[in-house]
């Protein structure tokens, strides 16, 4: 079969692709093997450097740091989605006094680096008499930045829909707010789901910046454990454990997203199959 843009590869092209795939896999294996060899030669796998992580209290601290990371991520993800929807609706408003401030808010906080936002909240507000916890500083920074990014995602998704979708809603007498929430937004979320999930993964990884404001998350604890000189300063083992935890959480989030996407597809197929039956009964 041929696709829309190019013809399907023939036997020679498929053979070249297989060769390229094998060569690429061998290069990756060689690079990973070289890194592991260098770690072994430098003593990064010595029992002394990993002894620290065998203590129950250390393992309990790591579990608590994972809980702190997930807590900040969950709070920031929910609030970022809500702020993104609110800003997207504001930018699409016909009233300039609503759309212009939402546009300025979105562009401002998309342009400010997330780390600077966290530092402003944690180090800049106390001199003004506003005391703030590390958790609040991390969540506030994540929400303002990622909410602005998600606002553009939702706005682009809504504006990419055919105009007939909104016109049909207006034709039956729905106000613009109902058209947005009941017709346009569900379709936009379905079409932009991969981008939304990617941004949620970014939120999860960006919680690591919380160590700058002394938030007790995974990277903060990994940095602390890696500085323990009495156990050989296990920086690399700490980084391996922290990286493995982040990879595992991102994979779980990606799996949930894939399950959700498959569920939405199945529900859409059920609706399409059910429509002819309804029409036949009515006829």
Q: Which fold would CATH assign to domain 61-260?
A: MetI-like fold (1.10.3720)
**Would the pLDDT of 102 be above 70?**
yes
Read off φ and ψ for residue 11, nearest 5 degrees: -60, -40
pLDDT tens-digit profile of 193-206?
A: 888 888 898 999 99
Q: Which residue has the higher pLDDT, 27 or 226?
A: 27
DSSP 197-211: HHHHHHHHHHGGGGG
Indicate whether 264 pLDDT > 80.
Answer: no
pTM of this structure: 0.79
Q: What angle do CA 90, 96, 102 make, to 5 degrees?
A: 35
Comparing 38-47, 75-84, 87-96, 111-120, the range with the smallest average pLDDT is 38-47
- Domain ranges in the chain are 61-260
Compute the mean pLDDT over every residue in the chain, rounded to the nearest whole number: 83
How much is the pLDDT for 28?
93
């Amino acid at each position: 079969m041929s696709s829309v843009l190019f013809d399907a590869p023939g036997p020679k092209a498929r053979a070249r692709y297989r060769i390229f795939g094998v060569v690429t896999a061998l290069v990756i294996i060689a690079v990973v093997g070289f890194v592991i060899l260098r770690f072994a030669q430098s003593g990064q796998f010595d029992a002394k450097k990993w002894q620290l992580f065998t203590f129950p209290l250390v393992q309990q601290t790591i579990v608590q740091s994972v809980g702190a990371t997930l807590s900040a991520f969950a709070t920031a993800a929910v609030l970022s989605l809500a702020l993104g929807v609110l800003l997207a609706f504001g930018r699409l408003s016909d009233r300039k006094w609503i759309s212009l401030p939402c546009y300025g808010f979105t562009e401002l906080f998309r342009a400010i680096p997330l780390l600077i936002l966290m530092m402003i909240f944690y180090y800049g507000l106390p001199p003004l008499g506003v005391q703030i916890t590390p958790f609040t500083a991390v969540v506030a920074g994540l929400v303002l930045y990622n909410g602005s990014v998600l606002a553009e995602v939702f706005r682009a998704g809504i504006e990419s829909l055919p105009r007939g979708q909104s016109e049909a809603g207006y034709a039956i007498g729905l106000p613009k707010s109902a058209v947005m929430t009941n017709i346009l937004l569900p379709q936009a979320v379905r079409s932009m789901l991969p981008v939304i999930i990617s941004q949620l993964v970014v939120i999860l990884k960006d919680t690591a910046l919380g160590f700058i404001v002394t938030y007790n998350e995974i990277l903060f604890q990994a940095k602390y454990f890696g500085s323990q000189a009495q156990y050989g300063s296990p920086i690399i083992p700490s980084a391996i454990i922290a990286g493995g935890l982040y990879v595992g959480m991102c994979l779980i989030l990606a799996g949930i997203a894939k399950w959700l996407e498959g569920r939405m597809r199945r529900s859409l197929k059920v609706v399409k199959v059910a429509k002819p039956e309804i029409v036949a009964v009515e006829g």
